[in-house]
Amino acid sequence: MKEVHSPVSTKDAITRGMQMTLLAGFMGWMMDGYEQALFPTLAGPALKSMVPSDVAALGSSAINSWVGGWMGWITSAFLIGAALGGAAFGWLGDRIGRVKAMSFSILFYSIFSGVCYFATDPTHLAGARFMAALGMGGEWALGVALVMEAWPERHRSKMAAAIGVAANLGMVLVGCVALAYPADGHSWRIHFLIGASPAILTLLIRLFVPESEKWERSVKKEAAGPTPTRSKIEEVFSGELLGSTLAGIAMVSVVFVGTWGAVQWIPLWVSELAGPENPRAKALAMVIVSVGACTSTFIAPLLLAGQPRRRGYQLLCLFALAATVWIYRTPANWSGTMLFDIFPVMMAVKVFVLGMAATAFFGFFPLYLPELFPTRVRATGQGICYNTGRSAVN
């Protein structure tokens, strides 16, 4: 008897709403990546354009010290803002819905990225970066919750791959813009203005992206039950969810502490190796490391989907350790065959591998963190885990 294959069930069919959800999330994450990579690329020219005359009179050593100090302060402000935003906008997403809260978070970071254009003092820049980070930290958690709840279980690893790739494409975009339009004491402002462009995305999200049905069912179920005695934030830090929250924070913290410096300081490291006569090397380094990151964040969730989550995390840690030992135990040599007459090929290979090793985790976390929390507190829980872990590098 001939076997009859039934079509894909309605429950598992890919709908237009699911496609729009993925598109909105992908664009939001991509601009998150742009926002995150923007300051390390622009810090030098932006801060040097703000050096006070009394510091400038002391010479290049004093200028570099002043710039480095302010870069540390502004980076810290950004990370603290992301941690607070992850909790605040995650809580909002569990209260009013993923779509509304995600629209607010994207609009928030877009506005304050644009505000950086008008900064005339490092304190202005620090304040604007802090405010932009509030929205950026919230968008990651809300987008992950929305997409993972909208798509069927069988597509979860593919969605995690898309999330990981999107943010790193944003970093590629930073490098490409910097290559085409090198940042100097004046043009750095235009790069921040580009960061305001996702504001347009908020209108498209509100018009075309449906709310999470899982969240809507969870709200109805919660409304029909007894009045909750705890807030969403209190809930993730108590009872049976406390262990999941602490484990998530610890795992993300380890990754950020181990990888943030390796990636975020690459532009400055390469700039010093290449020298002032090769200003495009820093931008190309950002492109290379981001292409490596895109590769690993796409592959990691697909390869690890069938593995126990703990084993998958351990494998990624071993890969990162092996790559870091290889890269930093061999001399950095700015010579040999050149890529595009800008970058030594061997150095490009090292930077590419570093990008892969340091960022593969960011394709794994969208697969893992949503599984730790029920729908009613998912955005809050994973927002706290991811962004508190991010702030650990302070």
Domains of the chain in sequence order = 16-219+232-391 (1.20.1250.20)
Task: Evaluate if residue 365 carries a pLDDT over 50.
Answer: yes
Cα separation, 343 vs 165, whole angstroms:
24
* Lowest model confidence (mean pLDDT) among 9-13, 80-84, 272-276: 9-13
pLDDT in tens, 179-209: 788 878 788 998 888 888 888 888 788 888 9
Confidence band for 2, pLDDT divided at 50, 70 and 90: very low
Q: b/e for 297-335, b at 16 or more Cβ within 10 A?
A: bbbbbebbbeeebeebbebbbebbeebbeebeeeeeebe
Q: What is the pLDDT of residue 246?
A: 94
Long-range (24+ apart) CB contacts under 8 A made by 202-207 are 202/103, 202/104, 202/106, 202/107, 202/110, 204/24, 205/24, 205/28, 205/99, 205/102, 205/103, 205/106, 206/99, 206/100, 206/103
Q: Are 232 and 377 in contact (CB under 8 A)?
A: yes
In a 13 Å sphere around the CA of 370, the CA atoms on its Cβ side amount to 24
Max mean pLDDT range (118-127, 304-313, 347-356): 118-127
Q: Calculate what percentage of the chain has a pLDDT beyond 90.
A: 25
Please say if the pLDDT value at position 394 is more than 70.
no
3-state SS assignment for residue 30? helix
Please say if the pLDDT value at position 7 is more than 90: no
Per-residue confidence (pLDDT) for residue 228, from 0 to 100: 60
Distance CA 156, CA 152 (A): 7
Q: What's the confidence (pLDDT) of residue 239? A: 84
Q: What is the mean pLDDT of residues 317-346?
A: 78
- CA–CA gap between residue 340 and residue 345 (Å, rounded): 9
Instruction: Take residue 141 and report the two structure tokens written for it.
Output: 């958690």
pLDDT at 171: 81
- In this predicted structure, which of 122-131, 254-263, 266-275 has the lowest mean pLDDT? 266-275
Q: Do residues 148 and 366 touch, judged by C-beta distance below 8 A?
A: yes
Q: What is the mean pLDDT of residues 365-382?
A: 90
pLDDT in tens, 51-89: 999 988 888 889 989 998 998 899 889 989 988 998 899
- How many other CB atoms are there within 10 angstroms of residue 372's CB atom? 20
Among 46-50, 124-128, 164-168, 256-260, the range scoring the smallest mean pLDDT is 256-260
Label residue 35 by pLDDT band (50, 70, 90).
confident
Q: What is the pLDDT of residue 231?
A: 67
pLDDT value at residue 230: 59
Q: pLDDT at position 40, please?
A: 80
DSSP bridge pairs for 343: 339
**Residue-level pLDDT at 194:** 86
Q: From CA 196, how far away is CA 159, in angstroms rounded? A: 26
For 393, counting Cβ atoms within 10 Å of its Cβ (0-12 exposed, 13-18 middle, 19+ buried), the class is: middle
pLDDT of res. 1: 43
- Residues 238-262, buried b or exposed e (16+ Cβ, 10 A)? eeebeebbeebbebbbebbebbbeb
Whether the per-residue pLDDT at 9 is higher than 60: the answer is no
Mean of per-residue pLDDT scores for the chain: 85
Q: What is the pLDDT of residue 227?
A: 60
Residue 298 to residue 372: CA distance in whole angstroms? 22
Closest CA to 138 of 101, 96, 169: 101
- Which residues touch 249 (CB under 8 Å, ≥6 apart)? 384, 385, 388, 389
141-145, 219-223, 294-298, 352-356: segment of lowest average pLDDT: 219-223
Task: Please report the pLDDT score of residue 256 as a whole number.
Answer: 85
> What does the alpha-carbon distance between residue 363 and residue 294 come to, in Å, rounded to a whole number?
9
